[in-house]
Amino acid sequence: MNWTILLLFAVALLLVVVLRRAGLISARDAREHLRKGALVIDVRTPGEYAAGHLPKAIHLPLDQIETTLPKHVPDKNTVLLLHCQSGMRSGLAKRKLRAKGYTHAFNLGSLGRAGRIVGGK
């Protein structure tokens, strides 16, 4: 009985990790977009951003991104690389922006992963 519960927990955990990773842009593709001028967007709260952020990252909090992004980035063909603390909010931001016509919005994931890809963290 205990093995069954442990096995179910392990499968559930693996499923969460796989599904979370499925929405991320690959490091290789992200670096290629960066070389071509992609923008890095930090969707964390103002407090999180103030505590530390990537150089050149544009701060547009998730709860404001749908209204503020068009003012900063009117061209919906611009490549946007979104990140947050864990990758969850940036995934949500990606879905919101794609629904608004920003078809080149990608989830970089967590601040740590974004820092390894972009550099500076």
Residues labelled as active-site residues: 84
The three-class DSSP label of residue 79 is coil
Q: Which residues of 7-43 are buried (b: 16+ CB within 10 A; e: fewer)?
A: eeeeeeeeeeeeebeebbbeeeebbebbeeebbbbbb
The three-class DSSP label of residue 14 is helix
Q: Give the number of other CB atoms < 10 A from CB of residue 90.
A: 31
Residue 80 has φ and ψ, to the nearest 5°, of -120, 125
In whole angstroms, what is the distance from residue 49 CA to residue 93 CA? 16
